[in-house]
Structure formats: C-alpha cells, structure tokens
C-alpha cells in the first residue's frame, strides 16, 4: 500500500532508512519534474543541458538535504522539491550565461552545501552550521569510498559543475554511458548513505 502513502509519509520512511520509499518518491515526482525542467530550460541551452540531467541533480540535492525539509502538510514536499529544481535550473542558466567570464574550478561545491541549496541559510544558527558541515563531510567521505568511476562522475558533476555530457567527455565515455554510470553511482551513493545512517 506504499503507493497510497502521502509524500510526507514517504519522507518520514526515507529518513528512517527505507530506500524503497526513496525510489517510490522519486518515481512519483519524475514526470512533473521532467516537464518543469523542460519548460524552464531556455531553448538555446537544451543541446548542452538535458532536462533529465537537471532532474537527477535536483533530486540528489533534495535527497541529501532531506533533513532540511519542513513538513507543512499535504503538498509541502512537492513544493519544496519544485523550489530545488527551479534553483538548479537557475544555476545552469547562470553557469552557461557566464561560462566565458569565470573559472568553473572556483565553484567547487557539492549539491548539499547549504549556501547552494538555500542561500538564506547563511544566517543559520551555529548548531545548524555545524550540522551542515558534518553532513557535507559525511557525504564527501561516502563519495570517496565509492569505486573510482562512480566517485569520479559524482565529483565532476557536483564539485566541478559539469553536465553529464561534459563529464563523459572528460572520462572518455559517450553521453549514454555516462548517464548510466551516473545513475548507478547515485544508487550506490544512496545505499552507502543509508548504511552509514543505520550504523550511526
């Protein structure tokens, strides 16, 4: 009966370590996220940035920042997820618009870092800042524990800000092969994060 659970119920299950609930939650929102990303990406960028890439990155950011979600009743998770997607699209638009004006290496960040996801967190309390720093350190450690290819594709996309096409070119892989590798890497990362949370 899990498919009849509300988003907020599924979020509670994911926080408790239920990976099946995480997959169900993603599958439930995938069509609307794809449609929104396709509609929001400027036509001139669609050859360089795929809607699926943006959706995957937004979902990873949401998944890894799930503790930051505030349950405000029915529909609150969908609204929160849309906000993260819109920020990711805006990031891509800014990155491509200003690509010739800045060095991408100066923007080395993981998607879970609070300043990227929610700029207003820069005024967070010391305890929240400590928690965010701990979560970022934990994520980096788990990424580092993955196989070389999995860790590399995640770093290229989330630390260097490359698209999957660009990451694939760097790794000598086709776009389709890179997308498959990235999806498997996310699955393994989710598994490791879940195992790590269980042991804590």
Phi, psi angles (nearest 5°) of residue 3: -65, -15
Count the Cβ atoms, other than its own, within 10 Å of residue 14: 22
What is the mean predicted confidence (pLDDT) over 64-80?
A: 88
Residue 83 has a pLDDT of 92
Q: In which band, very low, low, confident or very high, does the pLDDT at 103 lie, cut at 50, 70 and 90?
A: very low
Q: How far is CA 87 from the centre of its chain?
A: 11
Q: In which band, very low, low, confident or very high, does the pLDDT at 171 lie, cut at 50, 70 and 90?
A: very high
CA distance 183 to 155: 14
Q: Is the pTM of this model over 0.85?
A: no
Residue 82 has a pLDDT of 92
- Contact assessment for residue 22 and residue 48, using Cβ atoms and an 8 Å cutoff: no
Position 43 pLDDT exceeds 80: no
The rounded mean pLDDT for the chain is 76
Count the Cβ atoms, other than its own, within 10 Å of residue 148: 7
- Contact assessment for residue 1 and residue 21, using Cβ atoms and an 8 Å cutoff: no
């Amino acid at each position: 009966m899990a498919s009849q659970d509300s988003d907020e119920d599924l979020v509670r299950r994911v926080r408790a370590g239920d990976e099946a609930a995480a997959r169900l939650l993603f599958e439930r929102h995938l069509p609307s996220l794809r449609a929104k990303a396709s509609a929001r990406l400027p036509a001139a960028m669609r050859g360089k940035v795929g809607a699926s890439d943006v959706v995957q990155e937004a979902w990873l950011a949401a998944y890894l920042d799930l503790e930051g979600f505030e349950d405000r009743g029915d529909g609150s998770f969908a609204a929160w997820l849309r906000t993260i997607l819109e920020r990711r699209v805006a990031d891509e638009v800014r990155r491509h618009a200003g690509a010739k004006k800045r060095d991408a290496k100066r923007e080395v960040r993981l998607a879970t870092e609070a300043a990227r996801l929610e700029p207003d967190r820069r005024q967070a309390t010391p305890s929240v800042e400590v928690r965010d720093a701990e979560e970022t350190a934990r994520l980096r450690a788990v990424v580092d524990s993955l196989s070389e290819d999995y860790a590399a594709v995640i770093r290229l996309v989330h630390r260097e800000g490359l698209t999957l096409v660009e990451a694939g070119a760097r790794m000598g892989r086709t776009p389709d092969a890179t997308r498959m590798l990235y999806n498997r890497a996310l699955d393994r990362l989710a598994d490791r994060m879940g195992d790590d949370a269980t042991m804590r």
